[in-house]
Amino acid sequence: QKEVEQDPGPLSVPEGAIVSLNCTYSNSAFQYFMWYRQYSRKGPELLMYTYSSGNKEDGRFTAQVDKSSKYISLFIRDSQPSDSATYLCAMSGVGGSYIPTFGRGTSLIVHP
Protein backbone atom coordinates (compact mmCIF):
# COMPACT_ATOMS: atom_id res chain seq x y z
CA GLN A 1 0.00 0.00 0.00
CA LYS A 2 1.31 3.42 -0.95
CA GLU A 3 1.65 6.10 1.72
CA VAL A 4 -0.68 8.39 -0.22
CA GLU A 5 -3.54 7.07 -2.35
CA GLN A 6 -5.33 9.17 -4.94
CA ASP A 7 -7.75 8.08 -7.65
CA PRO A 8 -6.26 9.03 -11.03
CA GLY A 9 -9.65 9.60 -12.69
CA PRO A 10 -10.31 11.11 -15.13
CA LEU A 11 -13.12 13.02 -13.49
CA SER A 12 -15.34 14.75 -16.03
CA VAL A 13 -17.86 17.37 -14.87
CA PRO A 14 -19.96 20.08 -16.51
CA GLU A 15 -19.06 23.72 -16.05
CA GLY A 16 -20.49 25.11 -12.82
CA ALA A 17 -20.40 21.80 -10.96
CA ILE A 18 -18.93 21.34 -7.50
CA VAL A 19 -15.89 19.11 -7.69
CA SER A 20 -14.62 16.95 -4.86
CA LEU A 21 -11.08 15.56 -5.01
CA ASN A 22 -9.76 13.27 -2.30
CA CYS A 23 -6.69 11.51 -0.94
CA THR A 24 -6.13 9.02 1.81
CA TYR A 25 -2.88 8.42 3.59
CA SER A 26 -1.37 6.00 6.06
CA ASN A 27 1.41 7.94 7.81
CA SER A 28 0.08 9.55 10.99
CA ALA A 29 3.20 11.76 11.17
CA PHE A 30 1.99 13.91 8.27
CA GLN A 31 1.12 17.42 9.46
CA TYR A 32 1.28 19.57 6.30
CA PHE A 33 -1.24 18.85 3.57
CA MET A 34 -0.94 20.45 0.15
CA TRP A 35 -2.86 20.56 -3.09
CA TYR A 36 -1.02 21.25 -6.32
CA ARG A 37 -2.48 21.92 -9.74
CA GLN A 38 -0.56 20.77 -12.79
CA TYR A 39 -1.50 21.79 -16.30
CA SER A 40 -0.36 19.64 -19.20
CA ARG A 41 3.38 19.91 -19.81
CA LYS A 42 3.83 22.34 -16.92
CA GLY A 43 5.27 22.01 -13.43
CA PRO A 44 2.93 21.73 -10.43
CA GLU A 45 1.86 24.93 -8.71
CA LEU A 46 0.72 25.13 -5.12
CA LEU A 47 -2.98 25.84 -4.73
CA MET A 48 -3.41 25.55 -0.98
CA TYR A 49 -1.80 24.09 2.07
CA THR A 50 -3.17 23.27 5.49
CA TYR A 51 -1.36 22.59 8.72
CA SER A 52 -2.88 19.81 10.82
CA SER A 53 -6.65 19.36 10.76
CA GLY A 54 -9.43 21.66 9.70
CA ASN A 55 -10.71 23.60 6.74
CA LYS A 56 -9.19 26.35 4.65
CA GLU A 57 -10.96 28.40 2.03
CA ASP A 58 -9.52 30.48 -0.80
CA GLY A 59 -11.99 31.82 -3.32
CA ARG A 60 -13.66 28.88 -5.06
CA PHE A 61 -11.35 26.37 -3.40
CA THR A 62 -11.78 24.71 0.00
CA ALA A 63 -9.33 22.26 1.51
CA GLN A 64 -10.36 19.90 4.30
CA VAL A 65 -8.22 17.65 6.45
CA ASP A 66 -9.59 14.89 8.67
CA LYS A 67 -6.62 13.44 10.50
CA SER A 68 -8.73 10.96 12.44
CA SER A 69 -9.75 9.33 9.15
CA LYS A 70 -6.47 10.12 7.37
CA TYR A 71 -8.47 11.71 4.59
CA ILE A 72 -8.07 15.03 2.82
CA SER A 73 -10.31 16.75 0.29
CA LEU A 74 -10.25 19.64 -2.12
CA PHE A 75 -13.57 21.16 -3.19
CA ILE A 76 -13.88 23.41 -6.22
CA ARG A 77 -17.07 25.44 -6.47
CA ASP A 78 -18.47 26.79 -9.74
CA SER A 79 -15.92 24.82 -11.72
CA GLN A 80 -14.61 26.39 -14.94
CA PRO A 81 -13.05 24.87 -18.06
CA SER A 82 -9.82 26.58 -16.99
CA ASP A 83 -9.81 24.32 -13.90
CA SER A 84 -9.15 21.35 -16.19
CA ALA A 85 -5.82 20.00 -14.98
CA THR A 86 -4.29 17.30 -12.83
CA TYR A 87 -4.62 17.88 -9.09
CA LEU A 88 -1.94 16.37 -6.88
CA CYS A 89 -2.23 16.03 -3.15
CA ALA A 90 0.98 16.06 -1.13
CA MET A 91 1.82 15.84 2.54
CA SER A 92 4.82 16.07 4.81
CA GLY A 93 5.78 15.74 8.42
CA VAL A 94 7.25 18.31 10.75
CA GLY A 95 11.00 18.57 11.02
CA GLY A 96 13.64 17.11 8.81
CA SER A 97 13.56 18.50 5.32
CA TYR A 98 9.79 18.76 4.84
CA ILE A 99 10.04 16.70 1.67
CA PRO A 100 6.45 16.05 0.58
CA THR A 101 5.04 12.68 -0.42
CA PHE A 102 2.80 13.05 -3.46
CA GLY A 103 -0.30 11.25 -4.62
CA ARG A 104 -0.42 10.21 -8.26
CA GLY A 105 -2.84 13.01 -9.14
CA THR A 106 -6.45 13.16 -10.33
CA SER A 107 -7.13 14.33 -13.86
CA LEU A 108 -10.07 16.78 -13.91
CA ILE A 109 -11.93 17.75 -17.06
CA VAL A 110 -14.51 20.54 -16.87
CA HIS A 111 -16.51 20.70 -20.08
CA PRO A 112 -18.48 23.78 -21.18
Partner 1 sequence: GAGVSQSPSNKVTEKGKDVELRCDPISGHTALYWYRQRLGQGLEFLIYFQGNSAPDKSGLPSDRFSAERTGESVSTLTIQRTQQEDSAVYLCASTLMSSSYNEQFFGPGTRLTVL
Compute the distance between CA of residue 112 and CA of residue 109 in angstroms, rounded to an integer. 10
Query: What's the Cα-to-Cα distance from 102 to each of 60, 65, 80, 81, 82, rounded to whole Å?
Result: 23, 16, 25, 25, 23
Binding mask 34-53 for partner 1 (x = CB under 8 A): -------xxxxxx--x-x--
Closest CA to 34 of 52, 46, 18, 22: 46
Binding residue for partner 1, selected from 8, 16, 54, 81, defined by CB under 8 A: 8
Binding residue for partner 1, selected from 63, 103, 108, 110, defined by CB under 8 A: 103
Compute the distance between CA of residue 43 and CA of residue 72 in angstroms, rounded to an integer. 22
Q: Which is nearer to partner 1, 97 or 112 (CB)?
A: 97
* 33 part of the interface to partner 1, by CB under 8 A: no
- Contact set with partner 1 (CB under 8 A): 4, 6, 8, 32, 41-46, 49, 51, 88, 90, 92, 94, 97-105
